[in-house]
Structure 1
Amino acid sequence: MTAQYDVIIIGSGAGGGSVAYKLANAGKRVLLIEKGAFLPRDASTLDVRQVFVDGVFKNHVVWLDGKGDQFVPGEFYNVGGKTKWYGAALFRFRPVEFEAEQDYGLLGWPFGYDELKPYYDEATDLLKITAFKNEPELQALLDKIITADPGWQLHPLPLGLSHDIINHPEEAKHFDGFASPSGLKSDSERNLIDHIRDRPNFTLLAGDPVSELVSAPGDPRTIVGVTCADGSTYEAETTVLAAGAMTSPRILQDHLHASGLALPCGDLVGANFKMHINSAVLGFSPFKDHDVLRKTAVLYNDKFPHSSMQCLGWIDPELLAVQAPPLTPGFIDKFLGTRAIGFWATTEDSSSPQNRIISGGPGGKPIMDYSLDRIPHAVKEHHALIDAWIERLLAAGLLGVDKYMGMAGTAHALGSLVTGTDPKTSVVDPHGKVHGMERLYVGDGSPLPRASRVNPSLTIYAWGLRLGDHLAGA
């Protein structure tokens, strides 16, 4: 029986959208399946209450942590995946961040920066990455900090953001953590999927989750398609898992469990899960702030080689109230919100095979068994980073406070199906093919063995574009 499609791609985020874009343009018959629906293109995705308080657009599936406690991770299931909600900071990893670092507990890539460079270049063009000038009040603060301590190196933040956003104040205030209804923020849907949506060889199926992989009769190693939640089955010559580092390993785990298939890499499926150590740092000034965009700069310090400090977007009383204790008087939120400048502290977390994603825990709930106790080197650096930054803020006249994002802060989920050449130490080969299986590839952030010190989205785009070229025979 002839397969319905050349390639089925599960997930429409940075990786899945990139693979689909490449293959559709190469003339392949592509089916892109997204668990969630399309987001509305109206002001609802900019509404603080709907987005942050009511969680209208977020995942509501309850997970368990390693201790059996329940929590809801901050995942999004919609066309475009988490790229619709990210802050559009699009960095390249440094060449050194493709290498292993045993003392810190970091795995290495099976290839170097040069292999991904042409795809970084292509993604940079597709996503229209640019930089913005720092606004006056932010620049004045940063000048004070780097003058007092030149160890802090100031760089423009690479953003997938239209310069026209300056003319749309509500969008400028609400792009970091919000979905742009006007398409002013680069994302997988607007910049990739929309460009292939009308092609006759491309099909997008939204709102119907994949429930299982389908294998060839009597051969669980060979994947020939998928079955969706509504019972529909689709066949293809190749299937690509791109549902994200918290979902793709569970789909594979379920297949291995149901079929009884034992792979050399089987114990590593879901292992080495990474998500960065992220904390928000707020600096409160005696004076009101008037800047609007704000998320335009990033700082590094050689004392913290695995870390970065990014400026956060607009912080106002409404956003601050979401994070404040429930009984905090509204006038305090208003007073502090007009004086708050936000920063995002990121430290690359070490890899641990014990930090893992597990399908089908008690009550059928998925498990994210992730503990900072297993990665002490990363924790130590992160705490030192925050202490040093708060000290700098105080010297510049701001009172600083910090908040660790915790288990639910899964925006940078990676590493649960790591790439490598050895099936005993990795799950997928350097081209994304699952070791020991046929016609099954991984195109999201799961294969990334390192997270670097910055947002990984651009590297996931680059990985997906490279995989698309490989599957197209380019």
Structure 2
Amino acid sequence: MTKHDVIIVGSGAGGAAAAYRLARVGKRVLLVEKGPFLPRDASTLDVREVFINGAFKNHDVWSDGQGHEFTPSEFYNVGGKTKWYGAALFRFRPQEFQAEPDFGLLGWPFGYEELEPYYDEASDLLEITAFANEPELQSIVDRITAADPNWKAEPLPLGLSKAILSNPDEAKHFDGFASPSGYKSDAERNLIDHILDLPNFTLLAGDPVTALISALDDPLRIVGVECVSGARHEAGTIVLAAGAMTSPRILQDYLRVSGLSLPCDRLIGGNFKMHINSAIMGFSPFVDHDVLRKTAVFFNERYPHSSMQCLGWMDADMLAALETSRLPRFLNQFLGKRAIGFWATTEDGSSPENRVISGEPGGRPTLDYSLDRITQSRREHEAMIEDWRLRLLEAGLIGFEKYTGIATTSHALGSMVMGADPHASVVDAHGKVHGLEGLYVGDGSPLPRSSRVNPSLTIYAWGLRLGHHLAAA
């Protein structure tokens, strides 16, 4: 059994950030990633391979709360989902650290000011910037905000190099694609690559963790992990950072096998959040010439828990992948030249019944998630979409929307929520699992709220803060 100071399970935003901080202060860190390295070639820009064939996606089948099969859009590779995200890197607003019981939103055990220095550090590491809107997008922005001043447009904070503008193929394919040229900031390029050659850092890719290992005489103390290969690795501290769909299942499996009972048992996997997301396609009579597209975000205080972002470039294959229609390909080609996409996001309330459940050995895991348990969130989302479609019509575009459903788990959070009370939360304010020694959670699972925007920057910041805490321990 190999020995390390810290073992981190998962190399996405939180896991990579914690590893980066710990390795740079000299801790012996083992970062274990379920999947392989991605190829750094044009295959990760191929629309058909990425979106239609799903060549790089998870293919494990899950069940929903009604027993129906579905395949979550998870990614298992070095860098995790950050290789595939659209690199929109927002900070949560200070008020989004507070509880809103009327909307079903839990509060953080600390405020924005606690996370602020880690937001600053993450912003520097990820080189966040903004881009000017291209002419056709700016025209739409102007028409929408002039017709209804309640809609406010702001530059989208992007982890994206300005050099991407010199490569149109990459510029059209960064939102939802992995950048082989490194134009997009992600957990691998901006964090892991900077510690990869350190003698105290080890990256193990392609050997999934199957179990937690406890001390021989104390099942409440976690001291290692076992992988599919049979390899066992030991450390003083274990950090689960495999994502909000996987980390709670690893803990559930450990408790089931060990027979342990913790005060937080019933909450492990519960309070799952993923945003309510809908894709909206606007079609104009004119051929589009913009390339980057994803440079603006809209807010409207009539919908305080929601946002409307521009999507990246649309074409016939992208339209087919989004299943906006069952139209013949020649018509998709025609529409693809006239399409502009938007991504409607609403923070979903927390419900203990919206939960991730690990399957028995050999069985399927379950995501039991229903909008009927978070009706306030659903109503705001529906009202915002109806409003936006009217705005698009006034701007000369015909809009169609599609709720993305529970398979779109890009923003999975909350399944091991943090708090001070071990009966009302799974981890404490530093990510330590209540009732267990040596086990922490470093991904989005502990986040009580998801804000109205993409949570990636907050997960990076949470991982940096956890790394700081463990480095000082």
Decide: shared fold, TM above 0.5: yes
| 1:420 positional shift | 0.4
Q: Does the CA-based 8 Å contact 1:271-1:417 persist in structure 2?
A: yes
Q: How do 1:227-242 residues align onto structure 2 when only pairs under 5 Å count?
A: 227-242=226-241
SS of match in other structure, 2:210? strand
Larger mean Cα displacement after TM superposition, 380-389 or 217-226: 217-226
The code of the aligned residue for 2:35 comes to G
Distance of aligned partners of 1:309 and 1:286 in 2 relative to their CA distance in 1, 3 Å threshold? same
| 1:327 positional shift | 5.2
The code of the aligned residue for 1:273 comes to F
Q: How do 1:289-304 residues align onto structure 2 when only pairs under 5 Å count?
A: 289-304=288-303
> Does residue 402 of structure 1 match 2:375?
no
Q: TM-score, normalised by structure 1?
A: 0.99
Partner of 2:83: 84
Distance of aligned partners of 1:115 and 1:327 in 2 relative to their CA distance in 1, 3 Å threshold? closer
Q: Structure 1: how far apart are the matches of 2:322 and 2:15? A: 32
Partner of 1:458: 457
Partner of 1:286: 285
The code of the aligned residue for 1:441 comes to Y
Q: Structure 2: how far apart are the matches of 1:79 and 1:185? A: 15
Q: Structure 1: how far apart are the matches of 2:320 and 2:34? A: 32
SS of match in other structure, 2:198? coil
Q: Does the CA-based 8 Å contact 1:35-1:207 persist in structure 2?
A: yes
> Does residue 374 of structure 1 match 2:373?
yes
Partner of 2:270: 271
Q: Structure 2: how far apart are the matches of 1:345 and 1:361? A: 36
Q: Structure 1: how far apart are the matches of 2:326 and 2:4? A: 55
CA deviations 1:396-425 (Å, max 9, x no partner) are 111000011101100000000000000010
SS of match in other structure, 1:417? coil
| 1:362 positional shift | 9.1
The code of the aligned residue for 1:312 comes to L
Q: How do 1:342-361 residues align onto structure 2 when only pairs under 5 Å count?
A: 342-360=341-359
SS of match in other structure, 1:364? coil
| 1:220 positional shift | 1.2
> Does residue 216 of structure 1 match 2:197?
no
Q: Does the CA-based 8 Å contact 1:361-1:367 persist in structure 2?
A: no
CA deviations 1:279-318 (Å, max 9, x no partner) are 0111100101100000000010000000000000000122
> Does residue 75 of structure 1 match 2:51?
no
Partner of 1:198: 197
The code of the aligned residue for 2:241 comes to A
CA deviations 1:96-120 (Å, max 9, x no partner) are 0000000000000000000000000
> Does residue 341 of structure 1 match 2:372?
no
> Does residue 43 of structure 1 match 2:39?
no
Q: Does the CA-based 8 Å contact 2:128-2:157 persist in structure 1?
A: yes
Q: Does the CA-based 8 Å contact 2:72-2:408 persist in structure 1?
A: yes
Distance of aligned partners of 1:361 and 1:384 in 2 relative to their CA distance in 1, 3 Å threshold? farther
Partner of 2:162: 163
CA deviations 1:428-465 (Å, max 9, x no partner) are 00000000100000000000000000000000000000
Q: Structure 2: how far apart are the matches of 1:423 and 1:362? A: 28
| 1:330 positional shift | 1.5
Q: Does the CA-based 8 Å contact 2:324-2:402 persist in structure 1?
A: no
Partner of 2:319: 320
Q: How do 1:414-429 residues align onto structure 2 when only pairs under 5 Å count?
A: 414-429=413-428
Q: CA RMSD in A?
A: 1.1
Q: Structure 2: how far apart are the matches of 1:219 and 1:145? A: 62
Q: How do 1:426-445 residues align onto structure 2 when only pairs under 5 Å count?
A: 426-445=425-444
Q: Percent identity?
A: 71
SS of match in other structure, 2:38? coil
Distance of aligned partners of 1:415 and 1:327 in 2 relative to their CA distance in 1, 3 Å threshold? closer
Q: Structure 2: how far apart are the matches of 1:403 and 1:177? A: 17
Unaligned runs of 5+ in 1: none
Q: Does the CA-based 8 Å contact 1:210-1:229 persist in structure 2?
A: yes
| 1:325 positional shift | 7.0
| 1:347 positional shift | 0.1
Partner of 2:110: 111
Q: Does the CA-based 8 Å contact 1:211-1:228 persist in structure 2?
A: yes
The code of the aligned residue for 1:196 comes to I
Q: Structure 2: how far apart are the matches of 1:326 and 1:449? A: 36
